Amino acid sequence: MPQAYTGSQLVTVQIFTAMFKPVAKKTFTVMAGDTVDVALVDDWGQPLGNGLFYLCVTVGNSRKTTSLIIER
């Protein structure tokens, strides 16, 4: 999702509800080309419920946001 980079970077993933309430924030050190698996749980360890969420990924000065729909 974010711009390509070389070496390793800090990648921050934030999850917001449809009402833009922050529910999760995780930071990873990621090597270029690697992927990150993010558990769909809030910062208190509770699974995210069904519905619309927004996923914001920040790498350096680059930030990208996309929607995420959870249906279980």
Residue 48 lies in a domain: yes
Tens of pLDDT, residues 38-52: 999 999 999 999 999
Q: How far is CA 9 from the centre of its chain?
A: 15
Residues of the chain predicted below pLDDT 70? 1-3
* Residue 63 burial (CB count, 10 A): 14
Question: Strands (DSSP E) along the chain, which ranges?
Answer: 8-17, 22-31, 51-59, 62-70
**Whole-angstrom distance, CA of residue 41 vs CA of residue 43:** 7
Residue 3 lies in a domain: no
In a domain, 2, yes or no: no
In a domain, 1, yes or no: no
pTM over 0.75: yes
Question: How many independent structural domains does the chain possess?
Answer: 1
**42 within some domain:** yes
R_g of the chain, CA atoms, integer Å: 13
Name the residue range of residue 35's domain: 8-70
Q: What is the DSSP letter of 33?
A: T
User: What is the percent of the chain with per-residue pLDDT over 70, rounded to a whole number?
Assistant: 96
